[in-house]
Amino acid sequence: MENTNYIVSSSPHIRSGESTNLIMRDVIIALIPALISGIYFFGFKALTVTALAIITCIATEMAMQKLLGREVTVKDLSAAVTGMLLAFNMPASAPWWMVIIGSIFAIAIVKQLFGGLGHNFINPALAARAVLLASWPVRMTTWPVPGMADAATGATPLAILKEGINYVNGLPVAAGGEMAGQALPNIWNLFIGNVGGCIGETSVLALAIGGAYLLYRGVINIRIPAIYILTVGILAFVFGKFDINYFIYHVCAGGLFLGAIFMATDYSTSPMTVKGQIVMGIGCGLLTFVIRFWGGYPEGVSYSILLMNVATPLIDRFTMPRKFGEVKKSA
Amino acid sequence: MDIRTLTFKGGTHPPHSKKATEKLQIEKANAPKVVAIPMQQHIGAPCEAIVAVGDEVKVGQKIGEPKGFVSAPIHSSVSGKVVAVEPRLYSGGSKVTCVVIESNMQDTIHESVIPKGKLEDLSADEIKTIIKEAGIVGMGGAAFPTHVKLAPPPGKQLDTVVLNGAECEPYLTADHRLMLEKPDDVVKGLSALMKALSVKKGYIGIETNKPDAIEAVFNAAKGVDGIEVVALKAKYPQGAEKQLINACTGREVPSGGLPADIGVVVSNVGTAAAIANAINTGMPLVERIVTITGKGVKEPKNLLVKIGTSFKEVIDQCGGFNGKPGKVIGGGPMMGIAQFSVDVPVIKGTSGILVLSEEEARLPKASNCIRCGKCVGVCPMNLMPMHLSANALADRFEQAETLHAMDCIECGSCSFVCPAKRPLVDSIRVAKREILEKRKKQQSK
């Protein structure tokens, strides 16, 4: 037993099997049901948009890391997740160049220029979506009608909902605005995702399956998504004069499930403390509801999450857990 | 068995990895031909060697005299001749004065080693003296002199003694086997501690992954006044002093304070057994149970080893290394100390010798913090390890101090759980050292 060179390091000497790569892989797996539903309802174009976003994000990450002299870490799959989320926030009819611009913006500007993984202060995919929406509002809100590829444009349930709900022969229709009298999609179609909208946001069912997987794997905590969704639902119910349809349509329509499960829970841009996560959920829900009910846009999920992202450092700071054995300073 | 199951908030679940040795009876290790006994095996002041080269010594003879109150005497574990008194590498990672004794293989017991009589006949002060003279220190790993704990600062009212039988460190089974094979010693040691402190309430906390030990100690404690055996949820770091007290009594040691501040003294089950042994036989602390385990050893074992026996000799008795060893750890995998060499002696605090294979020992590569917050969730002290670590790595030690770096118990849960494999506890340790340095400087001004 000669005196070999043992590895000497500070404890602990064992590490858990968790890794960044595994977490990102789990997120990708969780997004697959929504991708399948997107392809099913919006056609092959949904797949090409998603693939293009993923490839552009990965390529941008590699290029930026080489340029900035950083280690290339695309193997951690975080760029792929950003690409997937960005695509899910775009209509399937989005032109290829918009996908590329959005992907480059997300990775180059929002992620890498701020220090890379974990250092971005807002969600890259959502920031890119906001830029695209501000730059090409028409293209970003032209929704292919499910099953008709990109031939026609359809209104999203939220656009129909915007001025409230009326009833014609007992069926819910738009109460006012340009779409007055247009029928709301039936609840089953809304639930499975057979309505107009972005690639990955329409199917509540598919997103919930993905969310359940992430919860099971311990990747996310139920706090932010549950509180976010319930806050929107309850506010809509109350301000909709206790009409249960307001609850159902506001919860199931638009990007609420996608945002609450996959975007508001983004590690880098959401609070780490228990109390902070509760604040995040309520804050996102409140802002989303305010934008939807009284704002200029039919949908408010992205902007709400972006605003709460910016507030996250502050929230973390004010919700620090009480230290074990901390003695209350008595005056 | 009517017992409560208790726990603390936070913590993590490293794999137990105890299967290899939990069913193996404690064996007496082969008598060593040579022992090197360090003069510092405990927290506090080192001892001064009171024997010289050429002196004949016997088992149980005092060979190191403490130089200060926070210290504990050291005794010879063999009979034979002192062949050297010189600085040598020990398992703490540095060099300390060691008394090297060549055994005559007679194991002649020193005249001072005589049974101390019945516990009922001993006074509190007599028990304290026995513990102090027997060189008993905390056997869980930290090796804090036990007699110091028995002399709390004036004004502190003690009411509870908690015995730590959690053994939450993965791999280790020394305490488990001890509780199973010598439950009466454990209970007697606790009674002695309670009597020495005039305390009426005693707990023995054991993790639920050792149901047989819980049963054995429960039966041994039946009918002993004031002693309650409690089951603890198998979770790391259940055996950490502050967490253990919190689980058993619901009290919290105040930040920067001691268990005595809330009326509690904590001791390890191994320490209690050593106290019982010192009373029963008069033999000071000269041997201990060591779990030798890990993929890197051929036949993992629980051995009763004489203090001063080299790691190498002990590992050889377990069939030697299994393949090329990657890392040799004194203690468990969560808080143990990685060794430079196996030519270091087993000391009073050596609860285990863990040999990891090269593959297991390979250091993971750290990547960016993804702010997942897992470290915040597991921290048993409710700290925010990634903030502490970020400040420490940027040399912002004052910031780290305001974030309560000094409250970190260095359990390593944060580093264990980190998906980005960041050196969290390592960097917090650096910050703590810097903060202590600064405080020392300010005091000396």
DSSP string, B367-433: -------HHHHH-TT---HHHHHHHHHTT-HHHHHHTTGGG-----HHHHH-TT---HHHHHHHHHH
A132 and A209 housed in the same domain: no
Among candidates B254, B334, B368 on the partner chain, residue whose Cβ is nearest the Cβ of A325: B254
Selected for mutation to probe chain B from A2, A4, A5, A6 (highest B CB count within 10 Å) is: A6
B326, A7: Cβ pair inside 8 Å? yes
Please state, in angstroms and as integers, the Cα–Cα distance from residue B295 to each residue in B166, B175, B320, B325, B328, following that order.
Answer: 23, 20, 11, 9, 11
| A120: closest chain B residue by CA | B370
A111 and A199 housed in the same domain: no
Selected for mutation to probe chain B from A10, A11, A266 (highest B CB count within 10 Å) is: A11
Does any domain span residue B34? no
pLDDT at A149: 47
A23, B426: Cβ pair inside 8 Å? no
- Provide the token pair at A326: 């901390």
A187 and A313 housed in the same domain: yes
A268, B338: Cβ pair inside 8 Å? no
Residues from chain A that touch B372, judged by Cβ atoms under 8 A, are 23, 267, 272
Residues from chain B that touch A14, judged by Cβ atoms under 8 A, are 14-15, 170, 333-334, 360, 416
For chain B, the domain total comes to 2
Spatial distance between the Cα atoms of A290 and A284, rounded to a whole number of angstroms: 10
B327, A13: Cβ pair inside 8 Å? yes
Q: Which of A78, A109, A140 is the last residue of a domain?
A: A140
Q: Which of A87, A112, A140 is the last residue of a domain?
A: A140
Check: CB of residue B286 under 8 Å from CB of residue B32: no
B273 and B385 housed in the same domain: no
For chain A, the domain total comes to 2
A104 and A205 housed in the same domain: no
Full residue range of the structural domain in which residue A53 is found: 20-140
pLDDT along chain B (445 residues), means of 10: 87 94 96 96 92 96 93 96 96 92 95 93 95 94 90 89 96 97 96 95 96 96 93 95 95 92 95 97 96 96 97 96 94 95 95 95 92 94 94 94 94 96 95 93 83
Q: Which of B281, B305, B330 is the last residue of a domain?
A: B281
Spatial distance between the Cα atoms of B14 and B177, rounded to a whole number of angstroms: 21
| B409: closest chain A residue by CA | A324
| B13: closest chain A residue by CA | A16
Q: In what order do the strands lie in the sheet with B80-89?
A: B34-38, B95-103, B80-89, B56-57
pLDDT at A148: 54
Among candidates B252, B328, B416 on the partner chain, residue whose Cβ is nearest the Cβ of A14: B416
A289 and A210 housed in the same domain: yes
Does any domain span residue B405? yes
A273 Cα to chain B: minimum distance (Å) = 7
Residues of chain A falling short of pLDDT 70: 1-4, 146-154, 327-331
Please state, in angstroms and as integers, the Cα–Cα distance from residue A179 to each residue in A148, A158, A195, A197, following that order.
Answer: 21, 11, 16, 16
Full residue range of the structural domain in which residue B403 is found: 374-444
CATH of the domain at B249: 3.40.50.11540
Selected for mutation to probe chain A from B258, B368, B391 (highest A CB count within 10 Å) is: B368
Selected for mutation to probe chain A from B241, B372, B401 (highest A CB count within 10 Å) is: B372
pLDDT at A23: 96
B277 and B381 housed in the same domain: no
Among candidates A8, A14, A20 on the partner chain, residue whose Cβ is nearest the Cβ of B333: A14
A46 and A99 housed in the same domain: yes
A198 and A298 housed in the same domain: yes
Among candidates A1, A14, A23 on the partner chain, residue whose Cβ is nearest the Cβ of B419: A23
Spatial distance between the Cα atoms of A298 and A296, rounded to a whole number of angstroms: 7
Chain B interface includes A3 (CB < 8 A): yes
pLDDT at A177: 74
Among candidates B320, B364, B370 on the partner chain, residue whose Cβ is nearest the Cβ of A15: B364
B261 and B395 housed in the same domain: no
B396 and B276 housed in the same domain: no
Does any domain span residue B423? yes
Residues from chain A that touch B371, judged by Cβ atoms under 8 A, are 118, 267-268, 272
Does any domain span residue A323? no
A313 and A236 housed in the same domain: yes
Identify the H or E element spanning B302. Answer: strand B301-306
A267 Cα to chain B: minimum distance (Å) = 5
A159 Cα to chain B: minimum distance (Å) = 35
Selected for mutation to probe chain B from A4, A13, A328 (highest B CB count within 10 Å) is: A13
A7, B362: Cβ pair inside 8 Å? yes
Among candidates A19, A73, A326 on the partner chain, residue whose Cβ is nearest the Cβ of B419: A19
Chain B interface includes A119 (CB < 8 A): yes
pLDDT at A1: 44
Could you tell me how far CA A8 lies from the centroid of its own chain?
Answer: 43
A203 and A256 housed in the same domain: yes
End-to-end CA, chain B: 58
Rounded (5°) CA angle B13-B19-B24: 140
**185-244 of A, contacting B, C-beta below 8 A:** none
Angle between helical axes of B124-133 and B183-197 (0-180°, round to 10) = 120
A3, B341: Cβ pair inside 8 Å? yes
Does any domain span residue B37? no
Residues from chain B that touch A19, judged by Cβ atoms under 8 A, are 419-421
A11, B412: Cβ pair inside 8 Å? yes
B254, A18: Cβ pair inside 8 Å? no
Chain B interface includes A9 (CB < 8 A): yes
| A121: closest chain B residue by CA | B371
Considering Cα of A284, then A264, then A90, then A201, what sign does the dihedral take?
A: negative
Residue A17: CB partners within 8 Å, gap ≥ 6?
A: none
Does any domain span residue A246? yes
Does any domain span residue B192? yes
pLDDT at B2: 77
- Provide the token pair at A55: 């490839």
Among candidates B321, B334, B407 on the partner chain, residue whose Cβ is nearest the Cβ of A12: B334
A301 and A192 housed in the same domain: yes
B328 Cα to chain A: minimum distance (Å) = 7
Among candidates B246, B326, B384 on the partner chain, residue whose Cβ is nearest the Cβ of A6: B326
| B386: closest chain A residue by CA | A272
Size of interface A-B (CB pairs under 8 A): 160
Does any domain span residue B28? no
Phi, psi of B310 (to 5 degrees): -75, 150
Strand partners, B354: B293, B329
Chain B interface includes A330 (CB < 8 A): no
B336 Cα to chain A: minimum distance (Å) = 6
Does any domain span residue B151? yes
Among candidates B354, B370, B417 on the partner chain, residue whose Cβ is nearest the Cβ of A20: B370
Among candidates B242, B336, B425 on the partner chain, residue whose Cβ is nearest the Cβ of A325: B242
A78 and A192 housed in the same domain: no
A107 and A222 housed in the same domain: no
Phi, psi of A319 (to 5 degrees): -120, 25
